[in-house]
Amino acid sequence: MITKNASSPGRSLGGRLTGRTSAEPATGGAGTVMSVGGVDLHVRADGPVDGPTLLMLHGFGASTAWFDQVVARLPEFRIIRVDLLGHGGSERPTSGYDPESQGRLYSRLLSELDLTDVTVVGHSMGSLFGVATAEHSTRITRLVLIGEGPDTSTGTLPAGEWIIHIPWIGPILQHHGPAFVTSRVVRRAFAPGFDMTTAFANPGQGLDDARSLNHPAFTQSMKQRQAWTRQRGLDARLANLGLPALVIFGREDRFYNVDAALARYRAVQTITTTALEHVGHTPIIEAPDRVADLLREFLDRGDTAGNE
């Protein structure tokens, strides 16, 4: 492991990783840039070194800042957050966006940091990479999936999403298209009527994060997630792992058929499920108090699964 910079003061993990809770734009960085297997990842760390360890992986088009409100409510935990490959302050290569490659990457990060008994908390697409990481690492003992269906058959994409995949046209629209179009897609990640002014300390966070992706990250992530979950859904992968898992949905999620997704997960004995009323695709921002409570309850409960 090579630590390339530490852009802000913070609490350390063995003197190797610093960070703080922040809502800086995705183009900035409040943590440390680490070289993991030759790949530069922007990583943040918060909380006491000896606290229970959580690895938080954000969703597609987001950044570590999307977890800020939950992190602030879990001061007793050691929380490691990563800007996913192609997002935020992490490297933007032309390949490596499939779940298998990313699972190996974040597994190696856990090894580099020598973390054990880790609970992975994934939001949206970060849930896929969390499961993939658990398939490559024995350091993970529990998983939390937030707002992610077992496969794309239980979800829907925004109308016109296919346009962004067109060479030349796609990158121009993504980075230079009208802000109101991108902002409208970002708003779909929240329940109708949610007050977006309360989402981030930086009002432009959602737009900054959505535009921070490079085009390969956008197109490859979407296509390869579908192929990976078609091969085996997250419900089947969790059953195969046999680890305690918690699945959280907002009842007003606009990306997934919540009932269909939960029915699949409930069929797996090791999975606990819950649906939050009046919440959309992003409970970590729309209902951070409830999410923090659910995380504590899940870790305190141990291996016993149940449903709400």
**Could you please report the per-residue DSSP string of 99-135?**
HHHHHHHHHHHHHHTT--SEEEEEETHHHHHHHHHHH
| pLDDT for 19 beyond 60 | no
Which of 64-78, 97-111, 202-216 is predicted least confidently? 202-216
Q: How many contiguous H segments (helices) and E segments (strands) does the chain have?
A: 11, 9
What would the two tokens of residue 237 be?
């992968």
Q: Nearest Cα to 72, choosing from 54, 50, 46, 53?
A: 46
pLDDT of residue 226: 85
Give DSSP secondary structure letters for 251-291.
Answer: TT-SSB-HHHHHHHHHTSTTEEEEEETT--S-HHHHSHHHH
How do residues 232-262 score in pLDDT, each as one tens digit?
999 999 999 999 999 999 999 999 999 999 9
Look at the block and give the residue holding tokens 């580099």.
Answer: 112
User: Could you give the CA distance from residue 99 to residue 128 in angstroms, rounded to a whole number?
Assistant: 7
| pLDDT for 102 beyond 80 | yes
pLDDT of residue 183: 63
pLDDT of residue 9: 33
* Structural contact between residues 281 and 189, judged by C-beta atoms closer than 8 angstroms: yes
* SS3 state at 188: coil
pLDDT band at 175 (very low <50, low <70, confident <90, very high): low
Please list, in sequence order, all residues whose beta carbon lies within 8 angstroms of the beta carbon of residue 180, skipping any fewer than 6 positions away.
Answer: none
Dihedral sign of CA atoms 249, 122, 266, 221 in order: positive
| Backbone phi and psi for residue 98, each to the nearest 5 degrees, phi listed first | -75, 155
Which of 115-119, 139-143, 151-155, 287-291 is predicted least confidently? 151-155
Q: Nearest Cα to 84, choosing from 231, 209, 175?
A: 209
Strand order in the sheet with 118-123: 2-6, 32-36, 39-46, 78-82, 53-57, 118-123, 140-146, 245-250, 271-276
Please list, in sequence order, all residues whose beta carbon lies within 8 angstroms of the beta carbon of residue 289, skipping any fewer than 6 positions away.
Answer: 73
This prediction's pTM = 0.86
| Backbone phi and psi for residue 255, each to the nearest 5 degrees, phi listed first | -105, -20
What would the two tokens of residue 151 be?
């496969």
What would the two tokens of residue 159 be?
């109308």
Could you tell me what percent of the chain has a pLDDT over 70? 79
User: Could you give the CA distance from residue 59 to residue 127 in angstroms, rounded to a whole number?
Assistant: 8
Dihedral sign of CA atoms 85, 86, 92, 94 in order: positive
User: Could you give the CA distance from residue 5 to residue 164 in angstroms, rounded to a whole number?
Assistant: 33
| Backbone phi and psi for residue 121, each to the nearest 5 degrees, phi listed first | -115, 110
pLDDT of residue 45: 95
| pLDDT for 149 beyond 60 | yes
Look at the block and give the residue holding tokens 């992610």.
Answer: 148
Dihedral sign of CA atoms 217, 220, 223, 228 in order: negative
